[in-house]
């Protein structure tokens, strides 16, 4: 931190009447007013001294980039980041992306929330009135107690909000647990299907770090765009670019769009119809089998279910293995030749054969997947297929390889404030939250994937929603979601905290003004190829009546009589210090608390250099079995096959315990005359989900546009820059058309996270280009995840 | 600090590595913050260039020759700067020590003649405020930047600013790719690094649909 001790010129003193107060606070040598204008008064400018503090980004992105926040007169004037004299890419710097550098516009945004407010219009209208903190807290605590008395703690719920993160940023579960608990979700909107499918396949999921690709000879990424999805200097973005500088591997990206990860480098881009990865893998598998390129030793030693030899006993002799499926002996008796796959994927059969040949002959294969392939109605099977691919050729556990799961990272994991014990054990999938409001009490394990119990016992009646926009904007089918949230007989009370009035906050009954992590003491750990952690101090004094989450939770706890259990008599800073000291006790190489606060960013090399997924399992599968029922990689999962037999599933939700290709509900094979285009979402440069979606300079650099291939645009009479309506059975949303050959014909793509802007008590037409106007609320069959990339639509030119 | 000014008798220039750039525009944001400009008046801009064609086979499958790359560009501090000659109020000059082309704000009347003269469109003229923003490689900045703000902002380290002879020795002398004009026009102190495969694909097949965007 720089010296903020001001000295004073006569001009400055005359200009700033508050300066005397400042002087008094500083104390010391300059005291008497009448001596101020005499000789020897030091010359300087009290109102131009710049103060610099460290802070960290806290949005839902693995890169928690370092921020150097410059303030003048207690106002943020600009934000820079981790810079040093060395501009070499091999020296890791946690340089913030354009969004992190734009925080000044968000901190000082005219729409920033400054006071507690209560709703005065209908839910979703966005009409609020300022109230006092006393009124806000007493109303909230009364409603909490009312809910507990009337419905029990099961009726209280915190939905997933990812707008802030640090060791103390999310204290609200602890707050409710101190009062008897709350109903909980499991999973998320990011990688739900991948995570839980991966758990069936591998037990505990793992991916190799990006720098492991330096030892690869072939890299294939499915639906993976790290330079955009994980921007910044400390994680996927820079790790990927650095890796590309250092590797000799051929790099192939399989994606419906030519993403910025491919741009500029002429890596090979294989355009694929979205939602068809499982078909491509089956086509590749067919070629590998036909040409004797599968690694049978690997498959028989480490995997279950490739062929009859390793099928679980109960399923032997039934042609239920992956090989039987691929070779046309399985349940559908269709041979999955490259020609078969080409009709579904849109990739020429020769290209599929070429890919297979490269996969079958390369020395060190790194198969990677982003979260794009799995955020679909058949996401489980795409994710599972991609994880099967390295098994087929025995490319796992050695240098330059990956598991087919998403690439991993090396992180400094700091301990967060403990959540205490929640007496309510049962959990339901995150994406079912609107159903949990509507009919949560009917949820069972078989119809809704309830875990840690057989059923949920109450509908949600009280919702607390902190720092997020997934109530509406980021959730499936906004128009349906609105109907559920607007009905005050269903969820009776909604509390939101936020920094700005986003679409979700409009449904709050009480809306509380939140603080950024760099407006308070904060600490966070993360990593990519290299681990790092960041500590920060408040950049300014608290402004208006904004409070931080720990203060808000403390006030609510006090009103509900659980303050002592919640705070244990500690302030937030005391908690941060205590938690950090515990981490330091485990790893004494970490700097002391004071040293860390001073240095801001601390980096730690991965002691292994590069992490290789499942290295110890591959080295000795008997001594280090996986945490699956068989102890091996489950290409066929008996667990999943049994779920398929016993769960309540619709006809188009039927699945098997095998990574088969299942056509999507709203996919390239199920478009209609009315809605002839597949519609997929993707992450955008100027936002992290919906965060930063209101910042003008980022919107100017990243206009909300639907990507459409010139051939599809010509058919619809659309030219670049036209204003268009994208429509389907769920709604209508408006944005600009980006006519570009960078997207496969037949599919259009909308960057997710744009701010929903519709009159929800009028025509409900969204002027903001929010893709969730068009998405479904129906969860994927197996893991009950969000299929928000699986949509069909038509695009029309408008005025 | 001002690290880049350590040598006061050389021609400085920018190096841009298209193999590292992913088009994120963090450099533009840093430039805006440093100079108080907006995106439309920022001295640094990012241009996307794309081309190639789709070929649809009889069986309905597609293949493509598509390519795309980004160029992050500001003033190239040319050795034959047309903006200096074009300036009616003699505000623009080339620093004899560093070769940086910049403007004396006390003489600049904001007419925009330099912006019209520059084939790269590097000076950004604001007709409302009647001023022209030009890159001075952050020579006047008093902050903590040892390098121009854009260079130290780039998360991918795709930019460098140094003695142009050193940059050319290290990276070659490529100074023009589509859509940039031929370098003999103004002798820009710019070095580019492009993917060889991409360059050859471009040279081999001048795509009918290629276009500079933005």
Residue B57 included in any domain:
no
State which fold the A117-189+419-518+546-585 domain adopts.
Rossmann fold (3.40.50)
Q: What is the pLDDT of residue B199?
A: 61
Evaluate whether B57 touches A338 at the Cβ level (below 8 Å): no
Contact pairs from chain A to chain B, CB under 8 Å: 166
Q: What is the DSSP letter of A455?
A: B
Q: Is the pLDDT of residue A164 over 80?
A: yes
Question: A701 and B147 in contact by Cβ < 8 A?
Answer: no
- Smallest Cβ distance to B63: which of A52, A244, A348? A348
Cite the DSSP H helix spans in A609-671: 615-619, 638-646
Residue B209 included in any domain:
no
The verdict on A86 touching B (C-beta cutoff 8 Å) is no
Chain B hits for A742, CB-CB cut-off 8 Å, are: 50, 66, 68
Residue B213 included in any domain:
no
Q: What is the pLDDT of residue A15?
A: 34
Here the ipTM equals: 0.87
Evaluate whether B14 touches B74 at the Cβ level (below 8 Å): yes
Distance from CA of A96 to the nearest CA of B (A): 7
Question: A231 and B62 in contact by Cβ < 8 A?
Answer: no
**Domain range for residue B183?**
3-51+65-78+136-204
Q: At A229, give phi and psi (nearest 5°).
A: -75, -25
Q: What is the pLDDT of residue B21?
A: 94
pLDDT in tens, A546-596: 999 999 999 999 999 999 999 999 999 999 999 999 999 999 999 999 999
Question: A697 and B29 in contact by Cβ < 8 A?
Answer: yes
Q: What is the pLDDT of residue A566?
A: 98
Which superfamily does A193-405 belong to? Dimethylsulfoxide Reductase, domain 2 (3.40.228.10)
Residue B166 included in any domain:
yes
For tokens 């949820």, the residue is A443
- Smallest Cβ distance to A264: which of B18, B25, B57? B18
A394: number of Cβ within 10 Å:
20
Q: What is the pLDDT of residue A84?
A: 63
- Smallest Cβ distance to B146: which of A85, A102, A233? A85
Chain A hits for B25, CB-CB cut-off 8 Å, are: 98, 685, 701
Question: B23 and A89 in contact by Cβ < 8 A?
Answer: no
**pLDDT, mean of residues A718-736:** 98
How many domains does the structure of chain B reveal? 1
User: Over pLDDT 90: what percentage of chain A?
Assistant: 89
Burial label for A292, CB within 10 Å (0-12, 13-18, 19+), is: exposed
pLDDT confidence bin for A638, thresholds 50/70/90? very high
Residue B22 included in any domain:
yes
Q: Which residue of B has its CA nearest to A341?
A: B61
- Cβ contacts of A177 within 8 Å, gap of 6 or more: A419, A420, A421, A422
Question: B29 and A347 in contact by Cβ < 8 A?
Answer: no
Question: B69 and A710 in contact by Cβ < 8 A?
Answer: no
714-773 in chain A: CB under 8 A from chain B: 740-742, 744-745
Length of chain A: 799
Question: B38 and A80 in contact by Cβ < 8 A?
Answer: no
The CA distance from A92 to B155, in Å, is 10
Tokens standing for residue B181? 């004009």
Q: Pick A90 or A559 by higher pLDDT.
A: A559
Q: Which of B80, B92, B99 is nearest to B184 (CA)?
A: B80
Mean of the per-residue pLDDT values of chain A: 93
Residue A302, Ramachandran bin (φ over 0: left; ψ between -120 and 50: alpha; else beta): alpha
Question: B66 and A263 in contact by Cβ < 8 A?
Answer: no
**pLDDT, mean of residues A591-606:** 95
Distance from CA of A777 to the nearest CA of B (A): 32
Q: Which of A558, A716, A745 is nearest to A179 (CA)?
A: A558
Q: What is the pLDDT of residue B145?
A: 58
Tokens standing for residue B128? 């409302």
Domain range list for chain A: 117-189+419-518+546-585, 193-405, 677-797
Angle between helices A349-361 and A338-345 in degrees, nearest 10? 120
- Smallest Cβ distance to A701: which of B39, B153, B158? B39
Tokens standing for residue B36? 């108080």
- One digit per residue, the tens of pLDDT, for chain B of length 214 reads 345 666 667 899 999 999 999 999 999 999 998 888 988 899 999 999 887 788 888 888 888 888 889 999 999 999 999 999 999 999 999 988 889 999 998 999 999 999 999 999 999 998 888 889 999 999 866 445 578 999 989 999 999 999 999 999 999 999 998 889 999 999 999 999 987 766 655 444 333 344 443 3
Question: A227 and B160 in contact by Cβ < 8 A?
Answer: no
Handedness of CA A377, A383, A386, A387 (dihedral sign): negative
Q: Pick A59 or B205 by higher pLDDT.
A: A59
Domain A677-797 CATH class label: mainly beta
Q: What is the pLDDT of residue B167?
A: 96
The verdict on A342 touching B (C-beta cutoff 8 Å) is yes
The verdict on A4 touching B (C-beta cutoff 8 Å) is no
Evaluate whether A698 touches A690 at the Cβ level (below 8 Å): no
- The bridge status of strand A184-186 relative to strand A156-158 is unpaired
Residue B14 included in any domain:
yes
**pLDDT, mean of residues A342-367:** 97
Q: Which of B175, B171, B210, B167 is nearest to B69 (CA)?
A: B210
**pLDDT, mean of residues A131-155:** 98
CATH number (domain holding residue B11): 3.30.70.20
Tokens standing for residue A232? 């910044």
Q: What is the DSSP letter of B138?
A: T
Q: Pick A232 or A83 by higher pLDDT.
A: A232
Question: B50 and A742 in contact by Cβ < 8 A?
Answer: yes
The CA distance from A268 to A351, in Å, is 12
Q: Which of B122, B124, B78 is nearest to B101 (CA)?
A: B78
Q: At A539, give phi and psi (nearest 5°).
A: -80, -30
Chain B hits for A245, CB-CB cut-off 8 Å, are: 19-20
Question: A266 and B157 in contact by Cβ < 8 A?
Answer: no
Q: What is the pLDDT of residue B35?
A: 87
- Cβ contacts of A405 within 8 Å, gap of 6 or more: A194, A198, A202, A205, A206, A207, A369, A387, A613
pLDDT in tens, B38-47: 888 999 999 9
Q: Which of A527, A529, A486, A476 is nearest to A506 (CA)?
A: A486
Q: Which of B31, B25, B14, B78 is nearest to B47 (CA)?
A: B25
**pLDDT, mean of residues A204-212:** 98
């Amino acid at each position: 931190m720089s010296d903020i001790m001001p000295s004073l010129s006569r001009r400055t003193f005359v200009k700033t009447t508050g300066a005397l107060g400042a002087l008094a606070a500083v104390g010391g040598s300059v005291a008497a007013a009448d001596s101020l204008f005499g000789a020897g008064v030091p010359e300087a400018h009290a109102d131009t001294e710049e103060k610099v503090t460290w802070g960290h980004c806290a949005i839902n992105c693995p890169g928690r980039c370092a921020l150097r926040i410059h303030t003048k007169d207690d106002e943020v004037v600009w934000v820079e980041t981790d810079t040093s004299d060395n501009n070499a890419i091999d020296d890791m710097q946690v340089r913030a992306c354009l969004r992190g550098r734009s925080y000044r516009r968000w901190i000082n945004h005219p729409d920033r929330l400054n006071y507690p407010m209560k709703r005065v219009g209908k839910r979703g209208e966005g009409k609020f009135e300022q109230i006092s903190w006393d009124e806000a807290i007493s109303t909230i605590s009364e409603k909490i107690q009312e809910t507990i008395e009337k419905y029990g703690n099961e009726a209280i719920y915190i939905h997933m909000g990812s707008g802030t993160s640090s060791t103390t940023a999310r204290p609200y579960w602890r707050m409710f647990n101190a009062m008897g608990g709350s109903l909980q979700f499991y999973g998320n909107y990011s990688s739900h299907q991948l995570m839980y499918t991966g758990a069936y396949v591998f037990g505990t999921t793992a991916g190799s770090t990006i720098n492991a690709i330096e030892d690869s000879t072939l890299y294939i990424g499915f639906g993976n765009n790290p330079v955009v999805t994980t921007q910044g200097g400390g994680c996927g973005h820079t790790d990927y670019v650095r890796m590309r500088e250092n590797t000799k591997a051929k790099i192939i990206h399989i994606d419906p769009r030519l993403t910025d990860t491919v741009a500029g480098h002429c890596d090979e881009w294989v355009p694929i119809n979205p939602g068809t990865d499982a078909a491509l893998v089956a086509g590749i598998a067919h070629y590998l089998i036909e040409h004797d390129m599968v690694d049978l030793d690997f498959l028989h030693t480490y995997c279950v279910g490739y062929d009859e030899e390793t099928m679980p006993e109960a399923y032997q002799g039934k042609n239920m293995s992956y090989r039987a499926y691929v070779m046309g002996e399985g349940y559908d008796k269709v041979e999955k030749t490259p020609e078969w796959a080409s009709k579904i994927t849109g990739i020429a059969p020769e290209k599929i054969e070429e890919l297979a040949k490269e996969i079958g002959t390369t020395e060190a294969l790194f198969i990677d997947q982003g979260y794009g392939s799995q955020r679909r109605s058949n996401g489980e099977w795409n994710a599972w297929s991609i994880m099967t691919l390295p098994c087929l050729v025995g490319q796992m556990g050695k240098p330059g390889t990956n598991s087919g799961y998403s690439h991993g990272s090396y992180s400094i994991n700091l301990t967060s404030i403990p959540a205490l014990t929640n007496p309510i054990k049962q959990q339901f999938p995150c994406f079912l939250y609107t159903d949990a409001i509507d009919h949560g009490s009917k949820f069972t394990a078989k119809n809704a994937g309830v875990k840690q119990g057989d059923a949920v016992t109450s509908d949600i009646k009280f919702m607390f929603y902190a720092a997020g926009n997934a109530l509406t904007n980021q959730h499936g089918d906004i128009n349906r979601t609105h109907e559920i949230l607007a009905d005050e007989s269903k969820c009776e009370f909604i509390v939101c905290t936020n920094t700005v009035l986003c679409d979700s906050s409009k449904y709050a009954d009480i809306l509380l003004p939140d603080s950024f992590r760099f407006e308070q003491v904060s600490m966070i750990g993360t990593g990519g190829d290299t681990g790092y952690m960041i500590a920060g101090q408040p950049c300014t004094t608290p402004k208006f009546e904004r409070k931080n989450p720990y203060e808000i939770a403390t006030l609510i706890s006090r009103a509900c009589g659980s303050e002592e259990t919640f705070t244990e008599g500690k302030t937030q800073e005391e908690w941060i210090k205590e938690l950090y000291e515990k981490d330091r006790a485990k790893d004494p190489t970490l700097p002391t608390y004071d040293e860390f606060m001073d240095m801001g960013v601390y980096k730690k090399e991965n002691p292994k250099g590069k992490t290789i997924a499942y290295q110890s399992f591959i080295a000795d599968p008997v001594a280090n079995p996986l945490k699956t029922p068989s102890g091996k990689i489950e290409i066929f999962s008996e667990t999943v096959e049994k779920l398929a037999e016993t769960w309540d599933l619709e006809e188009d939700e039927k699945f098997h315990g095998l990574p088969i290709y299942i056509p999507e509900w709203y996919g390239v094979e199920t478009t209609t005359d009315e809605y002839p285009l597949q519609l997929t979402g993707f992450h955008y440069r100027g936002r992290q989900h919906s965060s930063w979606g209101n910042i003008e300079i980022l919107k100017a650099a990243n206009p909300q546009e639907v990507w459409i291939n010139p051939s599809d645009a010509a058919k619809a009479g659309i030219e670049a820059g036209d204003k268009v309506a994208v429509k389907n059975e769920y709604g209508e949303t408006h944005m600009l058309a980006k006519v570009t050959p960078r997207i496969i014909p037949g599919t259009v793509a909308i960057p997710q996270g744009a701010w929903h802007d519709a009159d929800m008590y009028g025509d409900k037409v969204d002027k903001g280009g929010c893709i969730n106007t068009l998405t479904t609320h129906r969860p994927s069959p197996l893991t009950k995840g969000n299929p928000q990339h699986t949509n069909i639509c038509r695009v029309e030119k408008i005025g | 600090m001002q690290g880049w000014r350590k040598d006061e008798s050389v021609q400085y220039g920018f190096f841009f590595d298209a193999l590292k750039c992913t088009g994120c525009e963090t450099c533009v944001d840093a430039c805006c913050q440093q100079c108080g400009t907006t995106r439309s008046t920022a001295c640094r801009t990012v241009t996307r260039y794309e081309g190639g064609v789709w070929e649809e086979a009889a069986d309905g499958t597609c293949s493509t020759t598509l390519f795309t790359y980004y160029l992050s560009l500001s003033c190239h501090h040319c050795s034959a700067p047309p903006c200096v000659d074009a300036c009616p109020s003699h505000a623009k000059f080339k620093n004899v020590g560093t070769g940086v082309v910049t403007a004396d704000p006390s003489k600049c009347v904001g007419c925009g003649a330099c912006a019209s003269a520059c084939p790269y469109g590097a000076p950004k003229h604001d007709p409302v405020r009647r001023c022209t923003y030009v890159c001075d490689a952050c020579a006047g900045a008093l902050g903590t930047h040892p390098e121009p703000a854009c260079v130290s902002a780039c998360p991918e380290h795709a930019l460098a600013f140094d003695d142009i002879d050193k940059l050319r020795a290290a990276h070659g002398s490529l100074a023009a790719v589509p859509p940039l004009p031929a370098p003999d026009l103004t002798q820009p102190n710019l070095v580019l690094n492009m993917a060889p495969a991409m360059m050859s694909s471009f040279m081999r097949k001048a795509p009918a649909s290629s276009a500079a965007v933005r």
